[in-house]
Amino acid sequence: MDRDKVLRFLALVHIITGLDIILFWAGFYSGILFPLDLLAPRIPNFEGYYAWETSFTLPDMVLAAAMLWGGVRLWRNTRDRVGRSILLAASGGAIFLGLLDATYDSLHGMYGLGHFYSWVLLMIGIYMPAFGVASIYLLARDEK
């Protein structure tokens, strides 16, 4: 496949992922994704979980900003070294975020809440590390 097409696709997926992170937090705090009245009784040690989860808001916003910034730069110019560097850093952040979420969620029963939110958490735990690894692979392979 054409190198520029692959890198533009990668840039687009980073942009979409960055927007999805922002939408996750909008849904979380609005109660659409995380209805407190339904989920609080289902989550053991709810106060601790809520404190844990909300501590990710700022780091996730920084990750989203990096994905958007790097993605737009790479979309405009597939040879942009700054955009590539930003996306490499963001990809490492995605791996860390996804593995951290997956570890916590699997150890603390978050996948068995009987609510759509559990599926969202599962997708974060699978998608983010896989996407991060794939992105690093594609960006590093292109350097050769």
**Pair 66, 60: CB distance under 8 Å:** no
Name which of 139, 134, 143 is nearest 17 in CA terms: 134
Confidence (pLDDT) at 144:
56
User: DSSP for 107-130?
Assistant: HTTGGGSSSHHHHHHHHHHHHHHH
Pinpoint the alpha helices (H) of 31-143.
36-39, 46-54, 57-76, 81-107, 116-143
Residue 142's pLDDT band, with cuts at 50, 70 and 90, is confident
Distance between CA atoms of residues 123 and 138, nearest Å: 22
User: Where does the pLDDT of residue 141 fall: very low under 50, low under 70, confident under 90, or very high at 90 and above?
Assistant: confident
CB within 8 Å of 133: residues ≥ 6 apart: 91, 95
- Give me 104's structure tokens: 């916590």
- Residue range 84-108: mean pLDDT, rounded: 97
User: Which residue range is the domain that position 71 belongs to?
Assistant: 3-143
Question: How many domains does the chain fold into?
Answer: 1
Note the pTM of the prediction, 2 decimals: 0.94
What is the C-alpha separation between 92 and 132, in angstroms, rounded? 6
**pLDDT, tens digit, 9 for 90 and up, residues 60-70:** 999 999 999 99
Which residues are CB-neighbours of 72 under 8 A, at least 6 positions away? 11, 15, 83
